Structure 1
């Protein structure tokens, strides 16, 4: 007769096998397939996420190493929310009244947009969520890039977007990313999203990366910005000491929030 531990291990392996095959799993389906309660499956997914073997989503999970797969924005917003808010507070100090800034479509920069004061400011963005937040502030002028709508991130991308922003001047571009690596650069999981951000970056005087500690030492599908093009990196105080040292040794302006 199998021990309790062996049963759990076998169940975990079946979950991972199905995840590898399908790319994602659902709690209710796993509950039926493995003949255990949904609460048991949720505990399994929580354990496997702590082992960094998957990423939990609403009602299921996806592979932790799924390159090219982007977690829907509402799911991403919940992760490391306190860190993102702290990063946003520090990022506000990089804004001056009357400037032209750009903000990309990410859950970290969304926290920043929510905190931007109602001051004379021009904001260029490809994020529907950011534009809605800033529309409540009468002194902030919002310019949407246009383009094709990606519902996963509620962002506008594509050639149309690139053409619209082509003649703008930008003081500072605030970006987030899927991965940042001291040797490889800044990367994202979706090609069109990356290309749109790359075009905006070419127009900016300064680039400020907002990234919580989980983004460091990660390489996602599309590298779109060389690390040397980054002026400032704002991250959480929980960043690993070794990672912090690697960036400081290369003389990056690294700010801990």
Structure 2
């Protein structure tokens, strides 16, 4: 972002206009970043964002703001399980084909990875997860060994986060990681609107051999607030037929396999 030079910071009205411009151009803004740009306190920026949200110009999230659009809002897990459910079921079924006997895999707490869990069948695998419903789904299968991270339980996401969750997987190695995201952009990579989600997924990425991104087409060409990882960290993307051919070619040019569910 270009720094706005001002000895005392812009007047409130002008500053808010500039914030909206920056948000439009970048797809997300952070409080700390805006504080430095405009030379005002973080508390002043938070008040600006509160007013802009009240005016219907943006959506505040933890640590910043995103555009006021459905794709930018982090929905509770139970709402996400029914959103684009047909696509998620097909993606989960397709992703299960890449799980083999004796694999050591990790599944994040996403609703799409839950669909994968439902399709593991009788394969003998070891699964690491921070997702409560993934544990509930796989815990009853005799051939599946489940390791749950623990950590602080988030009731909206039905998942475990925080330093305890991250520290619990220190020193582990995962053969295959399956994860979803809030947004995918070919230049920005994968991103989240929830900071703890992003931090935990970064930790998973650091211990994984192969990374499989499960993402329905509603999340494509979307930038959420916090970058989780650049595109180069991904080995395979499994999505639905809503993806545009041009985007498929752009992804494949970077050496990433694209699988489209039927």
Ranges of 4+ aligned residues in structure 1 off by more than 6 Å:
none
Choose from 7, 20, 23 the match for 2:56: 20
Partner of 1:200: 204
Alpha-carbon RMSD: 2.1
Q: For 1:122-141, what aligned pairs fall within 5 Å after superposition?
A: 122-141=126-145
TM-fit CA distance, 1:211 = 0.2
- Runs (5+) with no aligned partner, structure 1: 1-16, 25-61
Whether 1:188 aligns to 2:192 is yes
Aligned to 1:64: 69
Give the drift of 1:239.
1.0
The equivalences for 1:76-155 within 5 A come to: 76-155=80-159
Q: List runs of 5+ in structure 2 lacking aligned partners.
A: 1-52, 61-66
**Residue in 2 that maps onto 1:167:** 171
The match for 2:245 among 225, 241, 247 is: 241
- SS of equivalent residue, structure 1 residue 243: helix
How has the CA–CA distance of structure 1 residues 85 and 19 changed in structure 2, closer, same or farther, with 3 Å as cutoff? farther
Residue deviations 1:130-183 (CA, integer Å, cap 9, x gap): 100001211101100011111111110010011111021100010000011111
Q: CA deviation at 1:224?
A: 1.4
Deviation at 1:19, TM superposition (A): 7.9
The aligned counterpart of 1:224 is 228
Separation in 2, partners of 1:70, 1:146: 22
1:70/1:152 contact within 8 Å kept: no
Q: Distance in 2 between matches of 1:154 and 1:76?
A: 11
What SS does the aligned partner of 2:211 have?
Answer: strand
The normalised TM-score by structure 1 is: 0.74
Aligned-partner SS, 2:150? coil
Question: What are the equivalent positions in structure 2 for 1:47-58 lying under 5 Å apart?
Answer: none
Q: Give distance in 1, aligned partners of 2:185 and 2:57.
A: 29
* Equivalent pairs, count: 203
CA distance in 2 between counterparts of 1:226 and 1:220 reads: 13
Moved more, 76-85 or 205-214: 76-85
* Secondary structure of the structure 2 residue equivalent to 1:165: coil
Separation in 2, partners of 1:101, 1:22: 38
